[in-house]
Chain A
């Protein structure tokens, strides 16, 4: 018995020793493997399904985002938001019919008044799933094209892309609506107006709305053989191609060594472990418009950027003074003829005024060490904006019910001096601690997707500076019944140490009592008008002490109803939505529903009259001569990409 016990003991010790030796050898090998750099350009894309096998929690949180559904196969279940049940939509004298073929596939057909076919397309993909959904149809030689109409998810109706982008109604529509040309519009003019935003998917949308895009353009045959690793923005868009990672981690021992060593795996990119600059480049690839150094390479083989690399290896961000240089001949779009083709996308101080320039804003910000994921999270938080708790404006943080301590936590994490409520209130000089950090330091001066968005150029509010550069300021964007002169005086009074006494005033008429937002709404350029319309609809917009809340509401409503006659359908839509918010009107109420921002002028005017009657005659904020004067000051701006 004793001999047997000794034998078992010896076997046990030998086994343990053998296992220990093997483990030690394996650990060394794995540690070497984990320390070796990998060239992820050699790794292939594997798709989110492969990621989901191990990263279930992250896959679930990603599936809840609008990134996932950015581009979808039209045949996929629940992908198509619009009914395609034979709806008819009229614009620019043409009629579009949206229906399904015998197999149930969606299609769009556009005909003129004489029933001649103008355009038709079989829908193969959808783009977008939050505000509005665009449709991509099959074209010749491997191409796909964006349809001229989109489905407004928020409004649950069709709209022409002029209403989704910042584009005025075409002349043919304006002339018809003013009665100057009651004759049927010329077929070609109407066709051109209607199809203005029909652009090729393969070399435009494909880059930022998909994972691993490759247009596959062959110049010789003028043909596209476009491929994407995955439709929509999936795991590998931010983490890089996953083939090496999947292959390496089929070994369970490697996974345990990886965990024990802190989880840094060279076969994949974790943006949370990148430097702030490289992490921002991952998002900036799409949220920072740029121009490729070698356009032909991008078109033939796709964007070579892999997360973790500097974006500047392959492209340069677009700035106000960017020129097309040697690319001028390669740009087919009308912007190719402009000397500074991107200038109108920025305020004159260089701050971006369109979305998809967030990286530029971050680069201009003084906050060092800050990166996109400081404030945003791809795997938690509200999918709308994907903002972490503690980094929302007043309205959003109130809606979410953030605790007072959490509201500005991400800012006060660095700016510790303002961490206590008393210190923050003293710094902000706002009653009831009603303003969040971002309300003043990241005002909504950016237009995109028929809405106003926060500037990502973090800076101190300065209405005098903003007046000089003709851009909206943080103060009057919230204090919507005040003038710019009031804002400048308030800043001097509240923050005297931060105001230079010799600061010259420009673009400020201290005698003009017109509130800045109303001036912008009725006399600004299209972006100013859109932003002002949004600001007036903000429930938290403050009114002057001399004005009662009821008067403020009536004046705002009156101004918005005036703006609902703007020549830009996008401005009309924002004004309509803001007016509805102020009046607490339901989108399903017939009186509000009757207004279609891309409808013809006669029906719009009838709808506005109906709303005025329904609202118990709200007063117009300014007299008709002033209104006419402001409208005469309006500046038309041609912005090639108004999305």
Chain B
């Protein structure tokens, strides 16, 4: 990707990855925002399953916050990075989307069967999800720096 000009195929691949990221990003943002609305309703109606259980409350908040935040990251990737980054965009896009989905789902599942000390076993989805997100961000950063250098903007 760096060192040579992107081919037409790379650009096409980048465009497809960008479309996918934007579509998934909006859908995921909508879903996670709905999750946030559900939390607010539960708080407003003082529902016991949320208010009485510190573990559930923490996990639900983390799931909602990470879901919304990572959906915005996926959208930003689709809008700004994917069209420009060429050959490895597809893999990076898949990593980012997988991570953005796994992290909040891991937190949400962590609310199920949690103990006093630790979340439920579902929370083990969070570390691989986080690694995928971070890997994707590193790859994107490197590619973006290369892109800027190629265009003599850096």
Q: B-contacting residues of A (Cβ < 8 Å)?
A: 8, 54-58, 249, 252, 255-256, 259
With a cutoff of 8 Å between Cβ atoms, the chain A residues found around residue B154 in the complex are none
B126 nearest CB across to chain A (Å): 11
Selected from A56, A249, A252, A256, the residue in CB contact (under 8 A) with B116 is: A56
Can you report 19 A-B residue pairs in the complex whose CB atoms are below 8 A from each other? A8-B91, A54-B116, A54-B117, A55-B116, A55-B117, A56-B54, A56-B116, A57-B54, A57-B116, A58-B116, A249-B117, A252-B118, A255-B117, A255-B118, A256-B118, A256-B121, A256-B124, A259-B115, A259-B118
With a cutoff of 8 Å between Cβ atoms, the chain B residues found around residue A259 in the complex are 115, 118
With a cutoff of 8 Å between Cβ atoms, the chain A residues found around residue B91 in the complex are 8
With a cutoff of 8 Å between Cβ atoms, the chain A residues found around residue B121 in the complex are 256
B46 nearest CB across to chain A (Å): 19
With a cutoff of 8 Å between Cβ atoms, the chain A residues found around residue B118 in the complex are 252, 255-256, 259
Residue of A nearest to B90 (CB): A4
Residue of A nearest to B53 (CB): A57
A572 nearest CB across to chain B (Å): 47
Assembly CA distance A614 to B124 (angstroms): 72
Residue of B nearest to A255 (CB): B118
A80 nearest CB across to chain B (Å): 32
Residue of A nearest to B124 (CB): A256
B121 nearest CB across to chain A (Å): 7
Contact with A along B101-122 (1 / 0, CB 8 A): 0000000000000011110010
Assembly CA distance A350 to B117 (angstroms): 45
Assembly CA distance A56 to B116 (angstroms): 7
B40 nearest CB across to chain A (Å): 24
Q: A-contacting residues of B (Cβ < 8 Å)?
A: 54, 91, 115-118, 121, 124
A435 nearest CB across to chain B (Å): 36
B87 nearest CB across to chain A (Å): 11
Residue of A nearest to B127 (CB): A252
With a cutoff of 8 Å between Cβ atoms, the chain A residues found around residue B115 in the complex are 259
Residue of A nearest to B121 (CB): A256
Assembly CA distance A58 to B118 (angstroms): 14
Q: In this complex, which of B117, B118, B124 has the most chain A Cβ atoms within 10 angstroms of its Cβ?
A: B117
B15 nearest CB across to chain A (Å): 17
Assembly CA distance A57 to B118 (angstroms): 12
Assembly CA distance A55 to B116 (angstroms): 6
B51 nearest CB across to chain A (Å): 14
Given A8-B91, A58-B116, 7 more A-B residue pairs with CB atoms under 8 Å apart are A54-B117, A55-B116, A56-B116, A57-B116, A256-B121, A256-B124, A259-B118
B2 nearest CB across to chain A (Å): 19
A73 nearest CB across to chain B (Å): 28
A4 nearest CB across to chain B (Å): 8
With a cutoff of 8 Å between Cβ atoms, the chain A residues found around residue B124 in the complex are 256
Q: List 6 A-B pairs, minimum CB-CB distance, nearest first.
A: A54-B117, A255-B118, A57-B116, A55-B116, A259-B115, A255-B117
With a cutoff of 8 Å between Cβ atoms, the chain A residues found around residue B117 in the complex are 54-55, 249, 255
A471 nearest CB across to chain B (Å): 45
Assembly CA distance A252 to B117 (angstroms): 10
Assembly CA distance A380 to B117 (angstroms): 18
With a cutoff of 8 Å between Cβ atoms, the chain A residues found around residue B54 in the complex are 56-57
With a cutoff of 8 Å between Cβ atoms, the chain B residues found around residue A256 in the complex are 118, 121, 124
With a cutoff of 8 Å between Cβ atoms, the chain B residues found around residue A255 in the complex are 117-118
A356 nearest CB across to chain B (Å): 32
A601 nearest CB across to chain B (Å): 56
Assembly CA distance A8 to B88 (angstroms): 13
Assembly CA distance A265 to B118 (angstroms): 15
With a cutoff of 8 Å between Cβ atoms, the chain B residues found around residue A249 in the complex are 117
A507 nearest CB across to chain B (Å): 54
Q: In this complex, which of B91, B118, B121, B124 has the most chain A Cβ atoms within 10 angstroms of its Cβ?
A: B118
Assembly CA distance A434 to B124 (angstroms): 55
Assembly CA distance A259 to B123 (angstroms): 14
Assembly CA distance A259 to B110 (angstroms): 14
Assembly CA distance A8 to B121 (angstroms): 26
Residue of A nearest to B114 (CB): A259
With a cutoff of 8 Å between Cβ atoms, the chain B residues found around residue A8 in the complex are 91
Assembly CA distance A259 to B117 (angstroms): 10
Residue of B nearest to A19 (CB): B128
B114 nearest CB across to chain A (Å): 10
B55 nearest CB across to chain A (Å): 9
Assembly CA distance A430 to B118 (angstroms): 50
Assembly CA distance A57 to B117 (angstroms): 9
Assembly CA distance A54 to B114 (angstroms): 12
Assembly CA distance A54 to B54 (angstroms): 12
B38 nearest CB across to chain A (Å): 25
B90 nearest CB across to chain A (Å): 9
Assembly CA distance A56 to B57 (angstroms): 14
Assembly CA distance A579 to B29 (angstroms): 69
A1 nearest CB across to chain B (Å): 10
Q: In this complex, which of B54, B116, B121 has the most chain A Cβ atoms within 10 angstroms of its Cβ?
A: B116
Assembly CA distance A546 to B91 (angstroms): 95
With a cutoff of 8 Å between Cβ atoms, the chain B residues found around residue A55 in the complex are 116-117
A531 nearest CB across to chain B (Å): 42
Assembly CA distance A255 to B91 (angstroms): 35
Assembly CA distance A144 to B73 (angstroms): 63
Assembly CA distance A235 to B116 (angstroms): 15
Residue of B nearest to A57 (CB): B116
A76 nearest CB across to chain B (Å): 26
With a cutoff of 8 Å between Cβ atoms, the chain A residues found around residue B116 in the complex are 54-58
Assembly CA distance A486 to B43 (angstroms): 61
Assembly CA distance A397 to B12 (angstroms): 77
Assembly CA distance A8 to B54 (angstroms): 39
A260 nearest CB across to chain B (Å): 8
A519 nearest CB across to chain B (Å): 53
Assembly CA distance A252 to B110 (angstroms): 14
A22 nearest CB across to chain B (Å): 13
Residue of B nearest to A8 (CB): B91
B4 nearest CB across to chain A (Å): 19
Assembly CA distance A259 to B124 (angstroms): 14
Residue of B nearest to A60 (CB): B54
A536 nearest CB across to chain B (Å): 43
B120 nearest CB across to chain A (Å): 9
A543 nearest CB across to chain B (Å): 45
